A and B are shown apart, each in its own frame.
Chain A
Amino acid sequence: MSLTLQDIERIAWLARIEIDAREAADVHAKLTSIFTMIDALDAIDTSGIEPMSHAQDMTTPLRDDRVTESDRRADFQRVAPATEDGLYLVPRVIE
């Protein structure tokens, strides 16, 4: 699979990363080499092998349904850039 410069721009936009044309070309070259490696992996016959969803061979631990956290809002909001009436403030979002 080959990537176009438009793909690079779209990926950057999806990740909300601002890149200029020079950086885009650089990233394009690097990502292309990564995809070349993936293409090599793709050549291996994996039919009959169950896809892996996690690097470790374990299942997720479960916790009992109990409330164990107390209100630490004051601590957390001490490091927030802006708060009001207990709310975190962010640049205005309009949808």
Chain B
Amino acid sequence: MAVRGRSPRFEGIMTAKWEVVIGLETHAQLSTASKIFSGASTAFGAPPNAHASAVDIALPGVLPVLNRGAVERAIRFGLAVGGHVQPRSVFARKNYFYPDLPKGYQISQYEIPVVQGGRVEFVVGDAQKSVRLTRAHLEEDAGKSLHEDFSGMTGVDLNRAGTPLLEIVSEPDMRSAEEAVAYAKALHALVRWIDICDGNMQEGSFRCDANVSVRRAGDEALGTRCEIKNLNSFRFIEKAIQFEVRRQVELIDDGGTVVQETRLYDPDRDETRSMRSKEDAQDYRYFPDPDLPPLAIDSAWVARVQAWLPELPQAMRARMVERHGLLPHEAAILTAERDVATYYERTVAALGGSARLAAHWVIGELSAALNRSGVPVASAKVGPEALAGLLKRVEDKTLSGKLASTVFDAMWNGEGDADTIIAARGLKQISDTGALEKIVDDVLAAHPAIVAEVKAGKEKAFNALVGKAMAATKGKANPGEVNAILKRRLGG
């Protein structure tokens, strides 16, 4: 039964009556140049089968040889989430038949994965949340089946076969679609931060399966879960989980029971549909792959990777909150991407002063300009040192916030650095008290009616006078100074 749209009953779900339990399995494609078990290229978009070597298409007699780069990335991940990097892990065969899996099995890890445990820390709203990880294991991707008509046959492209994946399995620690999306975003940011995955969701480099169940509030036992496969955008993760929660609650409310099954999310209809039930679930018959002896990772290798590892987002967030005085959500925005964090840190260093001012500008004006022009932060037309040059003029009150925006736009348009533009356009803020007092007095003399209103207690009228004074200086007056003078003059 497909239920679409928001039913009135759904409004009650997130109240005390039901608890939602979500775990995610994420496939992150590792950013190696070559495949996990062969020397074929992993580049996206090549002509069909041009990057499918004898190993990838499973010609008889070939043997897999493990890519050191893939293992290195798995170690980085293990350390970044505070997990245990197994000194000895085992590759296993996962057996099933499908034309885009030419060996008849996928090489994966089963009983002893390369990473065990760990956690991902992130911020939902202004609250800190931590999700435990069960494991992360190395495996190879399958090829692609194309079901368009090839004279009634299916076309198979094996370029993706053998691409290295890290499958990251979380514990069922999430309690809402919002938390699941926040976790997925944090994980997405982390794999790019430590440079193990390009995170390109359109190309399938980062995709999630969601295990979703519901239980009555206060119940200890978990409800029966359904697995929603292949969610390749944050929006789909959110929509699919919301639909699935609604479906399960309504099913139970109507006296039914949830059947353990695999479901597919259809974004066009915004619903999940049954794909296969537990009864016809695959029996993968895992066993250790005789082609691959155990993977050994010695402590020296782990130490080298540890030394390479950059400061991690959660540590950086804590530092921004404690030492820079930022709010948790501001720190979260600045650490969503490593390039943004780097930009912010360089701005603060060059400014040598107010980190909050730098944060506001990076989150505000800079992000807006990047969005408008569609360029990544690394190629921003105003670099961190140039922004710091502008912010120095805000700090020393040469520029008001409004004037600074004007100068920023001019900098973005390539008119030079902040000081050049301020001089060329005569934008220097008027903070000279004598000059401002004269201007304020003129304004008061010109608008006796408004002055009368202020004296009658109308606050809006006071703001009108500030506006008149600002207009008289074409916005160059220091607004704080104007306020103070007006208050003095009006005996406020």
By a beta-carbon cutoff of 8 Å, the part of chain A in contact with chain B is: 10, 14, 16, 53-56, 58-69, 71-73, 76-77, 82, 84-95
Q: How far is the CA of A73 from the CA of B57 in the complex (A)?
A: 10
> Which residue, of A61, A67, A68, A82, has the highest number of chain B Cβ atoms within 10 A?
A67
Query: Which of B39-47, B195-203, B424-432, B481-489 is the interface stretch?
Result: B39-47
Q: Which residues of A contact B52 (CB under 8 A)?
A: 73, 76
- Assess whether A88 is in contact with B54, with CB atoms less than 8 Å apart: no
Q: How far is the CA of A91 from the CA of B54 in the complex (A)?
A: 22
Task: Say which residue of B34, B47, B112 sits within 8 Å of A86 (CB atoms).
Answer: B47
**Minimum Cβ distance to chain A for residue B392 (Å):** 45
- Assess whether A53 is in contact with B67, with CB atoms less than 8 Å apart: no
Q: Which residues of B contact A73 (CB under 8 A)?
A: 47, 49-50, 52
Q: Which residues of A contact B48 (CB under 8 A)?
A: 85-87
- Assess whether A67 is in contact with B40, with CB atoms less than 8 Å apart: yes
Q: Which residues of A contact B53 (CB under 8 A)?
A: 69, 72
- Assess whether B32 is in contact with A88, with CB atoms less than 8 Å apart: no
Q: How far is the CA of A84 from the CA of B53 in the complex (A)?
A: 18
Per DSSP, chain B at the interface is loop
| CB nearest neighbor in A for B47 | A86
Task: Say which residue of B32, B50, B70, B154 sits within 8 Å of A71 (CB atoms).
Answer: B50
- Assess whether B158 is in contact with A60, with CB atoms less than 8 Å apart: no
Within 8 A of A (CB), among B78-136: 88, 90-91, 95, 97-99, 112
Q: Which residues of B contact A14 (CB under 8 A)?
A: 95, 283, 285
- Assess whether A82 is in contact with B69, with CB atoms less than 8 Å apart: no
Q: How far is the CA of A6 from the CA of B182 in the complex (A)?
A: 47
Question: Do A93 and B145 form a contact, CB below 8 Å, given A56-B293, A62-B68, A85-B155?
Answer: yes
- Asked if B156 is at the interface (CB within 8 A of a chain A CB), the reply is yes
| CB nearest neighbor in B for A56 | B293
Task: Say which residue of A64, A68, A82, A86 sits within 8 Å of B50 (CB atoms).
Answer: A86
- Assess whether B293 is in contact with A54, with CB atoms less than 8 Å apart: yes
Question: Do A54 and B156 form a contact, CB below 8 Å, given A64-B69, A67-B41?
Answer: no
- Assess whether A54 is in contact with B153, with CB atoms less than 8 Å apart: no
Q: How far is the CA of A82 from the CA of B152 in the complex (A)?
A: 12
